Structure 1
Amino acid sequence: MPLNACNHPLVQLAPEEAELLARVRQLVAGQIGPDAARVAREDVFAWETFRLLCAEGVVATAFPREYGGTDASMLLRVRIIEELASACSTSASLITGTDLSSRPILAGGSESLKRELVPDLANGTQQAAFALTEPGAGSDVARLAARYAPADGGVIINGRKKFITRASVADVFVVVAREDAGPEGSKGLSAFVVPRAAPGVTVSADIPKLGWHGVPIAMVDFENVHVPRGALLGREGEGMRLAQDTLLRARIGHAAIALGRACGALLIASQYANQRKVFGQSVGSHQGIQWMVAQMAARIEAARCLVYSTAQRYDRGDADVAAHASVAKMHVTDLCMNIVVDCLQLLGGNGYLKAYPLERFLRDAKMNQIGEGTSEIHKTLIGRYVLGMAAQMPQHPCLDFEPDLHCHD
Structure 2
Amino acid sequence: MPPVQAPPRLFGDHFLRQLLPDELGMLEKVRMLVRDVIGPKAAEVGRSDTFAWGNFHLLAREGVVATAFPRQYGGTDARQALRIRIIEELGRVCSASASIVTGTDLSSRAIVSGGSEEMKQRLVPQLCTGEVQVAFALTEPEAGSDVRGLRTTVRRDGDSYVVSGRKKFITRGTTADSFIVVARGADDPAVFIAVLVPRDAPGFSISSEVGKLGWFGVPISSLEFNDVAVPVSQRLGAEGDGFNLAQDALLRARIGHAAMALGRAIGAVEIAATYMSDRSLFGKALGEHQGAQWMLAEMITQIEGARALVAVAAEKYDRGDADVAIFASMAKLQATDLCMKVVVDALQLTGGRGYLQDFPLERFFRDAKLNQIGEGSSEVHKTVIGRDAVRRTRLAERNPCLRPGSLVDY
Determine the C-alpha separation between the residues in 2 that align with 1:55 and 1:153: 38
> Are 2:74 and 1:52 aligned?
no
Q: What letter is aligned with 2:109?
A: R
Question: Percent identical across equivalent pairs?
Answer: 56
The amino acid of 1:245's aligned partner reads: D
Q: Secondary structure at the match of 1:347?
A: helix
The equivalent residue for 1:4 is 11
- 1:72 corresponding residue in structure 2: 78
What's the counterpart of residue 3 of structure 2?
none
* CA deviations over 1:144-200 (Å, ceiling 9, x no partner): 0001111131111111100000000000000001111103xxx31110011111111
**Deviation of the 1:270 alpha carbon:** 0.2
CA gap of 1:253–1:404, structure 2 versus 1, over 3 A, is closer
After TM superposition, the score normalised by the length of structure 2 is 0.96
Q: TM-score, normalised by structure 1?
A: 0.96
Say whether residues 1:32 and 2:44 are aligned partners. Answer: no
Residue 115 (structure 1) aligned to one of 92, 112, 121: 121
Whether 2:360 is the aligned partner of 1:357: answer yes
Pairs within 5 Å for 1:286-297: 286-297=289-300
Q: Structure 2: how far apart are the matches of 1:404 and 1:366? A: 42
| TM alignment of 1:93-172, pairs within 5 A | 93-172=99-178
Deviation string 1:350-393 (CA, Å, 9 cap, x unpaired) is 11111100011011000000000000000000001111111111
Residue matched to 2:323 = 320
For the residues of structure 1 that align with 2:76 and 2:167, how far apart are their CA atoms? 32
Unmatched segments (≥5 aa) in structure 1: none
* 1:222-233 correspondence runs (5 A): 222-233=225-236
**Structure 1 segments (4+ residues) deviating >3 Å:** 400-406
Aligned to 1:372: 375
Partner of 2:398: 395
Sort the Cα spacing of 1:402 and 1:366 in 2 relative to 1 into closer, same or farther, 3 A: closer
| TM alignment of 1:229-248, pairs within 5 A | 229-248=232-251
**CA–CA separation in structure 2 for the residues paired with 1:2 and 1:76:** 19
Give 1:248 shift. 0.4
Report SS of the residue matched to 1:170: coil
**How far, CA to CA, are the matches of 1:398 and 1:13 in structure 2?**
41
1:207 pairs with 2:214: no
The alignment partner of 2:15 has SS state of coil
Residues 2, 297 of structure 1: 8 Å contact kept:
no
Task: Provide the rounded CA distance (Å) in 1 between the counterparts of 2:160 and 2:66.
Answer: 31
Question: CA separation in 1, counterparts of 2:139 and 2:409?
Answer: 54
- In structure 2, do the counterparts of structure 1 residues 133 and 37 end up closer, same or farther at CA, with 3 Å as the change threshold? same
With over 3 angstroms needed to count, the CA separation of the structure-2 counterparts of 1:402 and 1:91, relative to structure 1, is closer
Superposed CA RMSD: 1.5
Report if aligned partners of 1:43, 1:216 keep a CA contact under 8 Å in 2. yes
Unmatched runs of 5 consecutive residues or more in structure 2? 1-7
Map of 1:16 onto structure 2: 22
